[in-house]
């Protein structure tokens, strides 16, 4: 079924009785050309682009829970391309371009809103660093505007500019940055993949990966054995456990990252604001809730909930930056399981096992990467070659020293 | 979350800094091959369930601690001083 404004009007007049499920609920087949473990944003977009760009339609996505029930359903929805390092810059630039055409491509409203993202800076040194970053973004073909304090004041008059700890010197505006509706991205890709013949199999947990003679043969699941010529592990925070089924240890630690949303308010914050020095960032959802988050709790966890010290820290940072939000009531908080790599950059690569591919290590930046991650992973699985914008996301880069340390803090597990 | 420091007693999580997996207690010999160092520095079991990791009591007695924890429930099942281990290394 194709969605359109006319269809909405027509169904409204007919009591909305004509809507059909957006995707099928097929039983797993005995054999697929490729199986994707993980029905989150990255897995679904990989399936979609395998079908659309490479004509591979005899494929399945295996999801142990329900589609989009992990991090793509529990994040702060920010979409941006403001990276500095070669290797990251071209990848996120590619992703943002895909975002800009996503709704037309998927025929699905993902509510992509390019409301502008502002990274605040608080010293001369930080201004220089952001000027360099902005130049790198412009060189990449994206947009960046360096704002002085008056420039920020014009856009965000409600900030506390004179706070003594981190006075606001200015900000780097990324006009094409913004937000999107997190669930809709998963659902849009799921529907798109399903319409091209991909089997989306839910409540199907992979319990083993079959390998014979250094080549992958398929997977064991709670719904039986599935043979496959190619298998992709796209399981975010759970990558370590799934890779262990193939006898692999990954350069990944799973950490908890908390986020928060307030009750719905009238429009008050028109942009995405990032206050890096306070580990705080915020935007306002279309429903009116203030959506904000901070830094990792900084210990490994799969609990999908954090502890109170980081809650307090985030609230303090928010109050420091914009005291006006102090009267807003927090509605709920949640935690996502982040697959953290030592250098803070992701992995899209083959493994030493023929036919087994890996897409993980998205740290706390996986949402904006969903389109390009799927695009590049599909390219890798179909052609056995890394896509040109993802060629530095190698699994062995920690051993070879070809690091992608965007924050410049070092390559060590407790630093990102 | 509270950790019971063997020297200071039960203290708030804020007094401690997480350093990393217990793998850090199994430092390779200086002449070990690069793969051993990659394994030690970067590769992790990253278990969902019981784990052991290193914490530093920086707001307290400045002791290095080996903490046994459950990563799914956040339950702390044991805290011991790294200094009590022979040479500070993992015998396991």
Look at residue B92 and tell me whether its pLDDT is greater than 50: no
Contact A260, A298 (CB under 8 A): no
Residues on chain B touching A244 (C-beta within 8 angstroms): 45
> Is A2 domain-assigned?
no
Q: Which residue of B has its CA nearest to A303?
A: B72
A145 shares its domain with A230:
no
| Cβ contact, residue pair B48, A241, below 8 Å | yes
A99, A112 contact by CB (below 8 A)? yes
CATH number at residue A229: 3.50.50.60
Q: Which residues of A touch B46 (CB under 8 A)?
A: 240-241, 250, 252-254, 300
* Statement to judge: residues A133 and A150 lie in one domain: yes
Q: Which of B38, B71, B74 sits opposite A399 (nearest CB)?
A: B38
Residue A200 contacts residue A61 (beta carbons within 8 Å): yes
Selected residue of A70, A238, A242, A253 to mutate for chain B interface (largest B Cβ count, 10 A)? A253
Domain stop point among A288, A321, A340: A340
Measured CA to CA, the distance from residue A112 to residue A184 in angstroms comes to: 10
> What pLDDT score was predicted for residue A218?
98
Measure A328 CA to nearest chain B CA, in Å: 26
- Assign residue B15 the CATH number of its domain: 3.30.2270.10
User: Is the Cβ–Cβ distance between A111 and A60 less than 8 Å?
Assistant: no
A302 shares a domain with A235: no
Query: Which of A303, A318, A340 is the last residue before a domain boundary?
Result: A340
Domain boundary among A288, A307, A340: A340
A-to-B residue pairs, Cβ atoms closer than 8 angstroms: 72
For residue A310, the domain's CATH number is 3.30.9.10
Segment (H or E) for A93 = helix A89-100
**Where are the strands (E) in chain B, listed by range?**
2-5, 9-12, 17-21, 50-56, 64-70, 76-81
CA distance A189 to chain B (A): 29
Q: How many domains does chain B have?
A: 1
C-beta of residue A167 within 8 angstroms of C-beta of residue A26: no
A299 touches chain B (CB under 8 A): yes
| 8 Å CB contact between A338 and A296 | yes
* Residue B87 pLDDT: 66
**A319 burial type by CB count under 10 A (0-12 exposed, 13-18 middle, 19+ buried):** middle
Indicate if A274 and A293 belong to the same structural domain. yes
Predicted confidence at residue B91, as pLDDT, reads 56
Asked whether residue A203 is assigned to any structural domain, the reply reads: yes
Of A152, A142, A147, A171, the closest CA to residue A83 belongs to: A142
Q: How far apart are CA A235 and CA A227, in angstroms?
A: 19
pLDDT per residue as tens, chain A (416 positions): 899 999 999 999 999 999 999 999 999 999 999 999 999 999 999 999 999 999 999 999 999 999 999 999 989 999 999 999 999 999 999 999 999 999 999 999 999 999 999 999 999 999 999 999 999 999 999 999 999 999 999 999 999 998 878 999 999 999 999 999 999 999 999 999 999 999 999 999 999 999 999 999 999 999 999 999 999 999 999 999 999 999 999 999 999 999 999 999 999 999 999 999 999 999 999 999 999 999 999 999 999 999 999 999 999 999 999 999 999 999 999 999 999 999 999 999 999 999 999 999 999 899 999 999 999 999 999 999 999 999 999 999 999 999 999 998 889 998 88
Pair (A203, A298) in one structural domain: no
Helix (H) or strand (E) holding A415: none
User: Which of B34, B46, B65, B69 to mutate against chain A (most A CBs within 10 Å)?
Assistant: B46
Q: Please state, in angstroms and rounded to a whole number, the distance separating the CA atoms of residues A342 and A413.
A: 4
Query: Same domain, yes or no, for A147 and A162?
Result: yes
* Domain total in chain A: 2
Is A129 inside a domain boundary? yes
In chain B, % of residues over pLDDT 70: 93
Chain B residue with minimal CA distance to A304?
B72
* A298 plus A385 within the same structural domain: no
A239 and A265, same domain (yes or no) = no
Domain that holds residue B58: 2-88
A244 and chain B: CB distance < 8 Å anywhere? yes
Question: By the CB < 8 Å criterion, does B20 face chain A?
Answer: yes
Taking the Cβ of residue B62 and every Cβ of chain A, the question of whether any pair is shorter than 8 Å is answered with no
Contacts of B43 in chain A (CB under 8 A): 249-251
Asked if residue A246 belongs to a domain, the reply is yes
Across the interface, whether the CB atoms of B74 and A301 are under 8 A apart is answered yes
Task: Evaluate whether residue A86 is within a structural domain.
Answer: no
What pLDDT is stored for residue A50 in this prediction? 98
pLDDT at B89 over 90: no
- Residue A229 belongs to a domain: yes
Contact A89, A136 (CB under 8 A): yes
Question: A273 - beta bridge partners?
Answer: A118, A282
Q: Are residues A259 and A398 in the same domain?
A: no
Chain B CA closest to residue A256: B71
- The DSSP secondary structure of A146-207, one letter per residue, reads EEEHHHHHHH-TTS-TT-SSS---EEEEETT-EE--HHHHHHHHHHHHHHTT-EEE-S--EE
Are A375 and A387 a contacting pair, CB within 8 Å?
Answer: yes
**One domain, residues A248 and A349:** yes
Q: Does A253 touch chain B (CB under 8 A)?
A: yes
The pLDDT assigned to A163 comes to 81
Taking the CA of residue A236 and the nearest CA in chain B, the distance in Å comes to: 12
Which residues partner with A256 through β-bridges? A337
Residue count (chain B)? 92
Question: For residues A123, A127, A129 and A135, what is the CA-based torsion angle, rounded to 10 degrees?
Answer: 180
CB atoms within 10 A of CB B6: 16
Instruction: Mutation target for B interface from A413, A415, A416: give the one with most B CBs within 10 A.
Output: A413
Secondary structure (DSSP) of A220-273: EETTEEEEEEEEEE--GGGHHHHHHTTT--BS-EEEEEEEEEEEE-SS---SEE
User: Based on the number of CB atoms within 10 Å of its own CB, is A411 exposed (0-12), middle (13-18) or buried (19 or more)?
Assistant: buried
Closest CA to A187 of A101, A103, A81: A103
Inter-chain CB proximity A240 and B45 less than 8 Å: yes
Distance from CA of B14 to the nearest CA of A (A): 7
Distances (CA, A) of A102 to A48, A106, A208, A370: 12, 6, 34, 11
Residue range of the domain that includes A143: 114-178+253-340
A190 occurs within a structural domain: yes
């Amino acid at each position: 079924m194709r969605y359109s404004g006319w269809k909405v009007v027509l169904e409204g007049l007919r009591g909305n009785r004509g809507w059909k499920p957006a995707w099928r609920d097929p039983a797993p087949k005995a054999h697929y050309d490729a199986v994707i473990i993980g029905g989150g944003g990255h897995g679904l977009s990989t399936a979609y682009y395998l079908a659309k760009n490479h004509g591979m339609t005899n494929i399945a996505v295996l999801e142990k829970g329900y589609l989009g029930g992990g991090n793509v359903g529990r994040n702060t929805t920010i979409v941006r391309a403001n990276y500095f390092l070669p290797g990251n810059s071209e990848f996120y630039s590619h992703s943002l371009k895909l975002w800009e055409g996503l709704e037309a491509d998927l025929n699905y409203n993902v509510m992509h809103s390019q409301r502008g993202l502002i990274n605040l800076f608080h010293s001369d040194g930080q201004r220089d660093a952001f000027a360099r970053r902005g130049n790198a973004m412009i060189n990449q073909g994206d947009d960046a505007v360096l704002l002085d304090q008056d420039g920020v004041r014009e856009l965000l008059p409600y900030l506390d500019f004179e706070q003594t700890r981190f006075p606001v010197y200015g900000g780097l505006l990324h006009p094409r940055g913004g937000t999107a509706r997190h669930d809709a991205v998963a659902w849009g890709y799921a529907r798109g993949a399903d319409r091209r013949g991909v089997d989306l199999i839910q409540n199907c947990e992979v319990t083993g990966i079959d390998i014979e003679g250094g080549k992958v043969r398929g997977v064991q699941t709670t719904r039986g054995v599935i043979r496959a010529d190619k298998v992709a592990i796209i399981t975010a925070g759970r990558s370590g456990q799934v890779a262990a089924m193939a006898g692999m240890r990954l350069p990944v630690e799973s950490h908890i990252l908390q986020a928060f949303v307030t009750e719905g308010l009238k429009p008050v914050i028109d942009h995405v604001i990032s206050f890096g020095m306070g580990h705080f960032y915020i935007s306002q959802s279309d429903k009116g809730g203030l959506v904000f988050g901070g830094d990792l709790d900084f210990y490994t966890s799969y609990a999908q909930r954090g502890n109170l010290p980081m809650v307090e820290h985030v609230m303090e940072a928010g109050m420091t930056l914009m005291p006006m939000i102090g009267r807003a009531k927090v509605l709920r908080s949640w935690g996502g399981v982040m697959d953290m790599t030592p250098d803070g950059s992701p992995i899209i690569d083959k493994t030493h096992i023929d036919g087994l591919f890996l897409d993980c290590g998205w740290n706390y930046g996986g949402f904006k990467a969903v389109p390009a991650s799927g695009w590049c992973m599909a390219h890798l699985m179909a052609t056995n070659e890394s896509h040109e914008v993802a060629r530095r996301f190698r699994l062995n880069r920690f051993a070879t020293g070809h690091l992608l340390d965007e924050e410049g803090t070092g390559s060590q597990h407790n630093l990102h | 979350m509270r950790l019971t420091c063997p020297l200071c007693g039960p203290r708030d999580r804020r007094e401690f800094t997480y350093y990393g997996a217990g793998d850090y207690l199994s430092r390779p010999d200086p002449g070990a091959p690069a793969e051993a160092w990659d394994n030690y520095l970067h590769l992790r079991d990253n278990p969902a369930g019981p784990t052991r990791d290193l914490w530093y009591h920086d707001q307290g007695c400045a002791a290095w601690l080996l903490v046994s924890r459950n990563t799914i429930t956040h339950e702390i099942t044991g805290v011991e001083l790294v200094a009590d281990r022979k040479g500070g290394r993992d015998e396991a």
